[in-house]
Amino acid sequence: MERGYPDYMLESIELVKNTRERRLKEIPELMSLEEREAILRQYHPDYKEGTKRTVKVGVNAGEVMPNEVADLIEAYPLIDPTQIDLSMIDFDCDLLIIGAGGAGLTAALWALYSGIDVNNIMIVTKLRMGDSNSKMSQGGIQAADCEDDSPSLHYLDVLGGGHFTNDPELVKWLVREAPMIIQWHEELGVMYDKDEEGCMFVAAGGGTCRKRMHSAKDYTGMEIVRVLMDEARNLEIPVLEFNSAVELLMDDAGKVAGAVLWDMEKEDYTVARAKATLMATGGFGRLHVQGFATTNHYGATADGLVMANRVGARIIDMDSVQYHPTGSSYPEQIVGLLCTEKLRGRGSQPVNKYGEEFVYPLEPRDVESAALIRECNKGNGLITPTGMPGVWLDTPLIDILNGEGTIEKEFSAMYLKYKRFDIDMTHDPILVYPTLHFQNGGIVINERTSVVNVPGLFASGETTGGVHGKNRLMGNSILDYCVYGRRMGIYATEYVKNATVGKLNLDHVTKYTKLLENAGISKERRAPILLPEYRGERTISHALPLLG
Amino acid sequence: MQEEAEKEKMVKVYIMGREFEVPATLNIVKAFEYAGYRFIRGIGCRGGYCGACATVYRFKDDYRLNFALACQKAVEDGMYLTILPFVPAEKAKYDMNKLKPRGTVLLELYPEIARCVACNTCTKACPQELEVMDYVQAAIRGDIEEVANLSFDCIQCGLCAMRCPAEIVPYNVGQIARRLFAKYIAPKAHPTHARVDEINACVFDEELDNYIILAKEDIERLKKIYVEREIKVG
């Protein structure tokens, strides 16, 4: 293989090699809680001035959010309620599940297990079934199932990682049901890494006190989601693809009662009426908060957050954004894509351009990211030909520590990703920089996944807040969509047994529009945005809707 | 100077036949967007994990057909590019609890695998560099474990199925083989099952509920417990 780095990077790699032997023995110390607090305040993007503002309208009025999120909350609806004919019901179901990623598919399967008829479920997704961040998570899923571990220790890790801002009740069910999720996955036929005796392979993650990360190589999310998809297809669960919910519907009793759907291809709308509406729309990485590159799926545009907020769902902890410490910084074609935390869990270390270590490799994510940014701000990082900063993640250490061939076996996705660009990460380190990764906060739910103060609406997964507080630990996002997706399927099914739907309306949309007008919000901004805009400037500035 | 030159380098590509100049640092997906296209089909995670953007391309004056994930392939001068919106493919329906992991099960679900002529076209089309033909052959032999392991990195893009002259859908064969292997053939995860029993017997509930109370009423004590917990990750 050629070495796909420019000369000045190869020179720096020599320095990294020179210190490798020493760094095998000398690892920087873990920070104290006070040191963590200090570095976050000084270097974490959440604390950067001028990047947030106070939202003027809705249930969250008066609260501070990143500008990119505030732009969505302070935005006009896509549809005009007077143009929507609610007397024609196109789809009528008990459960309308919005989103077909990990949370949505898990909810659908558990709704079926809970006794709902398959034809009373409908999943809608704006792209294909399975398209989600769920599928992209690499490193693993946490579950405290080893002998020297316990759900209580897992609980402490989750709260400590979240700086004790999490909803303490939600964390209990997250950790308590984790081993059961692994067991369910095994019954479904998810291929977890284990040895010949059935002993699960477990790794450490940032901020964990035990090795409890279960993995399927570095394709953990993909392996889980493709099994969920296969099972959903076996059970013939109705899935309407390329249809995006653009606004929730209410009934005359003030309950959420389905959604207006917009066909992304045919560009027409349909009305879906439901006794319960389940929000599983995922996160917001494609908002590119503060201009950061992202690890997220093309569809991660926080649509569910916007729709739920308009019917009165409170959202919390939006002021904290998760930047994953190690996104690819080079080559340009893969900038921002994830380099799993498991790489550090298996021994690789962040080092600067002089080959010096500068942080304990497994701090909680926000702290680790802040340390990488500090190092680059000091001028100790490299700058790529397209202007991206970055420090080295010394991946060859993994094979040195765990035996030759470990990377190719355990990190086959990552290995191939770099090999495509002539970089052999078993011999050379890879260049990384923090990347926008996860929506820590979101819609407020209770432990039964009911959206607080909004009857008829349920939510789970990345679109919700509280589980992770202001910082999520590795391996708890898959766990979140499994545990709370499952609970959503069970409790929504229980709810619809006695639920009715009244006459449909979109009055909340009209009211929200009035609020925006009264607040003097510019008419140009509209949401949900459904997809990010990446077309060239020339096209955007000259686009005309001539075909209507 | 060298860095500047690299930043400005442009290449000529042909998007569905139309000529565009795009920066050489882009991948195929970004090149389409730079040229003014907006994706709905043929796009997904943009990170190499979902298979939605699997595509084919040719170079000017070259007979060979090449395969790639559009989000993971740098543009090169003279590329003829397209998107593939959908792959029609038949999937067998099965009840995992009723299937038996015997040697003939894959042939029963997907009898067309017997039509494999071992031409290796599937393998050549795989953007994940999997030995697709080898796992189809293993499927014919009934070696479920081999199919599961060889197909593990499959992202179900469908290029193998589009290219197969015997009309086999290899990626669906891989899917059922992996599920059968994980459910029936691989050893059971023993620590997990014991822990689930403990949790169902409410062994940890008192401690967890105590932590919830501390989180609400005495956060400093909980922080102390957190800081003092033993860290065993070595």
Of A133, A187, A332, which has the smallest distance from its Cβ to B25's Cβ?
Answer: A332
**Beta strand residue intervals within B40-191, DSSP E:** 54-59, 66-69, 79-81
The answer to whether residue A189 neighbours chain B at the CB level (below 8 Å) is: yes
* Together in a domain, B206 and B222: yes
pLDDT digits (tens, 9 = 90+) for A369-410: 999 999 999 999 999 999 999 999 999 999 999 999 999 999
Nearest-10 crossing angle of helices A33-43, A365-377: 50
Between CA B56 and CA B3 the distance in angstroms is 31
Q: From the CB of residue A187, how many other CB atoms can be counted at a distance below 10 Å?
A: 11
Tokens 């490799």, located at residue: A361
Task: Tell me the angle at which helices A476-496 and A178-188 cross, rounded to the nearest 10 degrees.
Answer: 80
Q: Give the residue among A315, A279, A439, A283 at the shortest CA–CA distance from A58.
A: A315
Question: Of A133, A90, A96, which Cα lies nearest the Cα of A111?
Answer: A96
Distance of CA B127 to CAs A413, B177, B226, B232, Å?
Answer: 12, 20, 46, 40
* Phi, psi angle pair for A445, to nearest 5°: -125, 165
Q: Is A241 on the interface with B (CB under 8 A)?
A: no
Mean pLDDT of A475-500: 98
Give the integer Cα–Cα distance in Å for B183 and B199: 22
Q: Is A153 on the interface with B (CB under 8 A)?
A: yes
Q: Is the pLDDT of residue A536 over 90?
A: no
**Token digits of residue A363:** 């701090």
Examine the domain organization and report whether B23 and B48 are in the same domain. yes
Q: Is A344 part of the annotated catalytic residue set?
A: yes
**Interface touch B50/A176, C-beta < 8 Å:** no
- A50 vs A48: CA distance, rounded Å: 7
Half-sphere exposure at residue A303, Cβ-oriented, CA atoms within 13 angstroms: 27
What phi-psi label fits residue B36: left (phi over 0), alpha (psi between -120 and 50 degrees) or beta?
left
Q: How far apart are CA A240 and CA A125, in angstroms?
A: 6
For each of the domains in chain A, give its residue range(s) and CATH number, in order of start: 7-30+326-436 (3.90.700.10), 81-320+439-505 (3.50.50.60)
pLDDT at B1: 41
Mark yes or no for CB contact A199/B190 under 8 Å.
Answer: yes
The answer to whether B229 contacts A153, with C-beta atoms less than 8 Å apart, is: yes
Do B141 and B197 share a structural domain?
no
Q: What percent of chain A has pLDDT over 70?
A: 100
Name the active-site residue from A154, A310, A344, A487: A344
Strand-pairing partners, residue A465, are: A444
Q: Is A1's pLDDT higher than 70?
A: no
Contact list in A for residue B192 (CB cut-off 8 A) is 143, 145, 179, 182-183, 186, 200
Per-residue pLDDT tens for B56-67? 999 989 999 999
pLDDT-derived band at A509 (thresholds 50, 70, 90) equals very high
Q: In chain B, whose CA is at the least distance from the CA of A201?
A: B189
User: Residue A193 in 3-state DSSP?
Assistant: coil
Q: What is the CATH number of the domain that holds B26?
A: 3.10.20.30
Among A222, A294, A324, A539, the residue to mutate for chain B (most B Cβ within 10 A)? A222
B226 to chain A: which residues are within 8 Å by CB?
Answer: 156, 159-160
The partner residues of A445 in beta bridges, in order of sequence, read: A451
How many angstroms separate the CA atoms of A440 and A305, rounded? 13
Q: Report, as an integer, the average pLDDT of B201-208.
A: 98
The pLDDT-based confidence of B190 (bands split at 50, 70, 90) is confident
The nearest CA of chain A is from the CA of B122 a distance in Å of 18
Q: Is the minimum CB–CB distance between A506 and chain B shorter than 8 Å?
A: no
Q: What angle do CA A254, A256, A258 make, to 5 degrees?
A: 140
pLDDT band at B2 (very low <50, low <70, confident <90, very high): very low
CATH number at residue B173: 1.10.1060.10
B/e letters for B32-67, b = 16+ CB within 10 Å, e = fewer, are bbbbbbebebbbbbbbbbbbbbbbbbbeeeeeeebb
Average pLDDT over residues A146-162: 96
Query: CA–CA distance from A445 to each of A154, A313, A394 (Å)?
Result: 21, 9, 40
The 10 Å Cβ neighbour count of residue A368 is 26
pLDDT (0 to 100) of residue A118 = 98
Q: Does B35 touch chain A (CB under 8 A)?
A: yes
Measured CA to CA, the distance from residue A381 to residue A366 in angstroms comes to 19
Q: Both B201 and B181 in a single domain?
A: no
Nearest Cα to Cα of residue B54 among B123, B151, B131, B156: B156
- The domain tally of chain B equals 3
Question: Is the pLDDT score of A535 beyond 90?
Answer: yes
Cβ–Cβ gap B187/A198 under 8 Å: yes
Say whether pLDDT at A180 is over 70: yes
Is there a domain that residue B207 lies in?
yes
Report, as an integer, the average pLDDT of A247-272. Answer: 98
> B231 CB near a chain A CB, below 8 Å?
yes
C-alpha distance from A201 to closest chain B C-alpha (Å) = 10
Rounded CA separation B14/A47 (Å): 45
Average pLDDT over residues B15-35: 96
B44/A298 Cβ within 8 A: yes
Distance CA B211, CA A315 (A): 25
DSSP state of A319: T
Please report whether residue B76 resides in a domain: yes
- Rounded mean pLDDT of B56-83? 97
Q: Dump pLDDT digits (tens) for A28-50.
A: 999 999 999 999 999 999 999 99
CA quadruple A195, A486, A269, A78: dihedral sign: negative
Q: Assess B88–A contact: CB distance below 8 Å, yes or no.
A: no
* Averaged pLDDT for residues A421-427: 97
Amino acid A547: pLDDT: 82
Tell me if chain A has a CB within 8 Å of the CB of B185.
Answer: no
pLDDT number for residue A545: 83
Mean of all residue pLDDT scores within chain A: 96
Kindly state whether A2 is in contact with chain B, defined as any CB-CB distance less than 8 angstroms: no
User: Which of B38, B44, B216 lies nearest to residue A168, judging by beta carbons?
Assistant: B216
Residues B172, B214, single domain; the answer is no
Report yes or no: B148 at the A interface, CB cutoff 8 Å. yes
CB-nearest to A183 from B175, B181, B192 is B192
Domain-embedded: residue B97: no
**B141 and B210 within one domain:** no
Query: A335: closest CA among A288, A295, A379?
Result: A295
Q: Is B149 inside any structural domain?
A: yes
Residue (of A334, A279, A205) closest to B49 by Cα position = A334
Say if B135 falls within a structural domain.
yes
CA dist A420 and B72 (Å) reads 8
Determine, for residues A194 and B187 on separate chains, whether the beta-carbon distance falls below 8 Å: yes
Residue B88 forms part of a structural domain = no
Q: Which amino acid is at A118?
A: V
Closest alpha carbon within chain B to A209? B231
* pLDDT value at residue B169: 98
* CB atoms B226 and A160 under 8 Å: yes
At A355 the pLDDT is: 97
Dump pLDDT digits (tens) for A432-466.
999 999 999 999 999 999 999 999 999 999 999 99
Q: Is residue B137 part of a domain?
A: yes
CB B48 within 8 A of CB B5: no
Asked if A58 contacts A43 with a C-beta cutoff of 8 angstroms, the reply is no
Q: Residues A315, A307: contact at Cβ < 8 Å?
A: no
Flag whether B110 is in a domain. yes
| CB-based contact B146:B173 (threshold 8 Å) | no
Looking at the complex, report in whole angstroms how far the Cα of residue B138 sits from the nearest Cα belonging to chain A: 18
Chain position carrying tokens 């994510």: A365
Band of pLDDT at residue B189, cut at 50, 70 and 90:
confident
Q: Which residues contact A94 (CB under 8 A, 6 or more apart)?
A: A116, A117, A120, A121, A274, A275, A276, A493, A496
Quote the domain boundaries for residue B24: 2-81
Q: What is the chain A residue with the closest CA to B231?
A: A209
Q: Which residues of A touch B219 (CB under 8 A)?
A: 164
Question: Which ranges constitute the DSSP H helices of B2-131?
Answer: 2-8, 28-35, 105-109, 121-125
Lowest mean pLDDT among A307-321, A379-393, B6-20: B6-20
Q: Using an 8 Å Cβ cutoff, are B53 and B71 in contact?
A: yes
Selected residue with higher pLDDT from B61 and A232: A232
Contacts of A182 in chain B (CB under 8 A): 189, 192
Contacts of residue B106, defined as CB under 8 A and 6 or more positions apart, other chains included, come to B113, B139, B140, B142, B144, B147, B173, B176, B177
A297·B95 Cβ contact <8 A: no
User: How far lies B45's CA from each of A197, A214, A300, B70, in Å?
Assistant: 35, 23, 9, 11
pLDDT at B7: 54
Question: Chain B closest CA to A519's CA: distance in Å?
Answer: 33
Are B40 and B74 within one domain? yes
Same domain, B115 and B167: yes
Residue of B nearest to A222 (CA): B49
Mean pLDDT of all residues in B102-128: 97
A3 is catalytic: no
Residues of A in contact with B42 (CB under 8 A): none
Q: How many A×B Cβ pairs under 8 Å?
A: 248
Confidence check: pLDDT of B3 > 90: no
Same structural domain for residues B39 and B7? yes
* Closest chain A residue to the Cα of B194, Cα to Cα: A145
- Quick check: B45 and A194 CB within 8 A? no
Q: Is the model's pLDDT at B6 over the cut of 70?
A: no
pLDDT the model gives residue B234 = 75
